[in-house]
Amino acid sequence: MVRPQKLRKIGCTPESRYFKPRATPLSELIEVVLPHDELEAIRLLDLEGLYQEEAAEKMGVSRPTIGRILARARKTIADALINGKAIKIEGGKIATNQMPPDFPRSRGRHRRGGRK
């Protein structure tokens, strides 16, 4: 029996959900999916330059798991770049600390100015 996959912590979600070759309409392209956890691994290791141990700790996974996530991400990105495919960013078992922009910001029970 396979263990259920743990939620992977990510620092942020990207503003763009698609990347594609410039000259071809999206409707004519083959898509590859890059899950949010794979994008986060690329961000932490390749962009921020963290070691695998540090990135694994930030994402809440083991060091071997971050290695597998990174290998899948690099393979997906290489496939898209070499073969002219679109990259769609979606999915993955993730937990984020980022609130949606329309989320109401409440001050809880204690408001400024006393009770009304």
Report if residue 15 sits inside a domain.
Answer: yes
**pLDDT tens sequence across 97-106:** 654 555 444 4
Q: Which residue has the higher pLDDT, 22 or 74?
A: 74
Asked if residue 101 belongs to a domain, the reply is no
Number of domains the chain contains:
1
Asked if residue 110 is part of any domain, the answer here is no
pTM over 0.75: no
Whether 69 shows a pLDDT value over 80: the answer reads: yes
The verdict on residue 50 lying in a domain is yes
Domain membership flag for residue 55? yes
Domain-located, residue 74: yes
Q: What is the 3-state secondary structure (H, E, C) of the chain?
A: CCCCCCCEEECCCCCCCEECCCCCCHHHCCEEEECHHHHHHHHHHHHCCCCHHHHHHHHCCCHHHHHHHHHHHHHHHHHHHHHCCEEEECCCCEEECCCCCCCCCCCCCCCCCCCC
Report yes or no on 104 lying in a domain. no
Q: pLDDT for 28-64, tens place per residue? A: 999 999 999 999 999 999 999 999 999 999 988 999 9
Please give the residue range of the domain that contains residue 80.
8-95
CATH number of 74's domain: 1.10.10
